[in-house]
Amino acid sequence: MPDEESQHRHILTFNFRQGRNKPRHDEAFARLWPRYGLEWTPEDGRIDTAALFGRTAPLVLEIGSGNGEAAAAMADADRDRDLLAVEVYPQGIADLMDRAEERGLDNLRIYQGDALPLLWRGLAPESLDEVRVYFPDPWPKKRHHKRRIIQAEHVATLAGLLRSGGLFHCATDIADYAEQMLDVLTAEPSLENTEDGFAARPERRPVTKFERRGVKAGRDIFDLVFRKK
């Protein structure tokens, strides 16, 4: 884990583009954030996930939940596990909370903010059953590749949070990022690939808006599924 000085000045892995909330977004936040939201700062230390969810169950972390299509559907299909979704954009969070309410989900909570401090200070080692990173910001310009979330130091941190046998599942429609993901995940000594290279899209991962957009643009979709040794 980086030292405190490095944590304070770390490079952001997302490009925060503040959009305008629609009335339905504001209404969803006012009504649903107390139910689904996680209020946390690094000063709070480790999160008591049993208290957060009201039970002790396997925990899944999804970084960058977008508008919540995948998060809500997968939490609905897997109610024996709890899902902590991380997202920075309030519009996406509002959409996810609406989806969660429609499905009557009790196994979903949302943290709004930068994922990295949460990884460093908020989650205990070997506390996660699975990590999901679906269609993260690709930072296409080469000089910005250092901002990509899937790189060696972040993967090492995430691997340390996985229990033995836990899964690390990534997906992207950007070919050069997919190759970087494969190289970085393969180089992490505590992880092993469940396939010989890229994986077929697991049926349990729903097709999302971002994936449909990539397919429409003629891009291939790449899934990677690694396991903690």
Which are the catalytic amino acids?
A: 137
Locate 94 and state its tokens. 């509002």
Question: Which of 158, 137, 150, 132 is closest to 78 using CA atoms?
Answer: 132
**DSSP letter at 146?**
G
**H helix runs in the chain, sequence order:** 4-8, 23-36, 49-53, 69-77, 90-103, 115-117, 152-161, 175-187, 209-216
Angle (CA) 5-186-173 rounded to 5° is: 90
Spatial neighbors of 15 by CB under 8 A, at least 6 apart, are 137, 139, 147
